[in-house]
Structure 1
Amino acid sequence: MDLDLKVAYLLLGSNLGERERYLEDALKSINQKVGRVFAISAIYETAAWGKIDQPSFLNLAIGIETHLTAFELLDNVLDIEASLGRIRHEKWGARLIDIDIIFYGDEIVNEGDKLIIPHPEMHRRKFVLEPLNEIAAEFKHPVLKKSVSEILTTLTDSLTVEKR
């Protein structure tokens, strides 16, 4: 077994332009530059969260195996977002592509504004938990010590999230 190989879970989202194409292009780039994608959820149509006066999102969760450190993973997904045209205008604003690191193995990273893993809001967001539950239902949150499926059953988020 390769001790340097980490399993990470990412959430991809898009709510501008050809949303499915952006998700597909991001998946290809992740597979080429980040690591082997071993699990892909269905695509979910999701109402915008946080800033609601914008188009709905397409979201999907993926599982990857990577040799990258958490910070290298972050740098790579930010590069992929930029290569696909992502420009950061406002928090929770509309975007061509968004790639969030949800889990990086069972590691806990807290580097303030730079990187927080597990994703600090994932346990409150239905649009993260629904697709993640499809591919990693038994994965345990390293802080909450609950599986993704357990977190989902106690979720109070009523946002509309529908499998396509």
Structure 2
Amino acid sequence: MTTRAYIGLGSNLDEPAEQLRSALQALDLIAETRLAAASALYTSDSLLPGQPRYTNAVAAIDTALAPLDLLDALQAIENDQGRVRKERWGPRTLDLDMLLFGDQVIDVPRLKVPHYHMQARPFVLYPLAELVPESFCLADGRPLAQLLEGCPFVGLERL
């Protein structure tokens, strides 16, 4: 049995668009996992001043892995693409965030799903909206349409 998971992708170092394209290919190579769809790429300003603009996307994957096993695989991809974890909000070659994992609500020290900041991030919500039906609700019951209303398409540029 597989679970549909949604992964947020972001990069603002070393050719960000190419980093995301490579990451999408790598997602499809995770054991017991298949890349089902990917949004367009978007650019946006960094949340912190002085950093380069980010390129972001969202991928839909179907996986038979358990959530923490998938998290390990995502972090291995980040490491393979040169991710250095010096600071929590610093620039990065690749950031892969598990946004949603089926209809599960997960709250363990290593993983919080639905992703705890996604409701305030247009660079997550708008790409996600490309991949799901208009009536889509997060596992915690929040309708995506309602989250989009509260998070305007400001500062985003679709590539």
Instruction: State the TM bucket, normalised to the shorter chain.
Output: over 0.9
User: What is the match of residue 158 of structure 2?
Assistant: 163
Equivalent AA in structure 2 for residue 163 of structure 1: R
Instruction: Compute the displacement of 1:89 (Å).
Output: 1.1
Distance 2:27 2:84 in 1: 19
User: What is the match of residue 37 of structure 1?
Assistant: 35
User: What is the match of residue 45 of structure 2?
Assistant: 47
**Mapped pair 1:74 → 2:42:** no
Instruction: Compute the displacement of 1:158 (Å).
Output: 6.9
- Give the secondary structure class of the aligned counterpart of 1:32: coil
Distance 2:60 2:24 in 1: 11
- Superposed CA deviations along residues 96-137 of structure 1, whole A, max 9, x for unmatched, are 01100000001011013x111110111111111111111124
Distance 1:21 1:111 in 2: 32
User: What is the match of residue 101 of structure 1?
Assistant: 98
Please report the TM-score for the alignment, with normalisation by the length of structure 2. Answer: 0.93
Equivalent of 2:119, from 107, 120, 123?
123
- Give the secondary structure class of the aligned counterpart of 2:115: coil
- Give the secondary structure class of the aligned counterpart of 1:101: strand
Distance 2:113 2:98 in 1: 7
Distance 1:48 1:56 in 2: 5
Distance 2:38 2:49 in 1: 26
RMSD of Structure 2 on Structure 1 (CA): 1.4
Distance 2:102 2:74 in 1: 17
Please report the TM-score for the alignment, with normalisation by the length of structure 1. Answer: 0.90
Percent of aligned positions that are identical:
33
User: What is the match of residue 15 of structure 1?
Assistant: 12
Instruction: Compute the displacement of 1:159 (Å).
Output: 4.7
Distance 2:131 2:157 in 1: 16
Distance 2:135 2:95 in 1: 25
Which stretches of structure 1, 4 residues or longer, exceed 6 Å deviation after superposition? none
Distance 2:148 2:95 in 1: 22
Equivalent AA in structure 1 for residue 13 of structure 2: L
Equivalent AA in structure 2 for residue 129 of structure 1: L
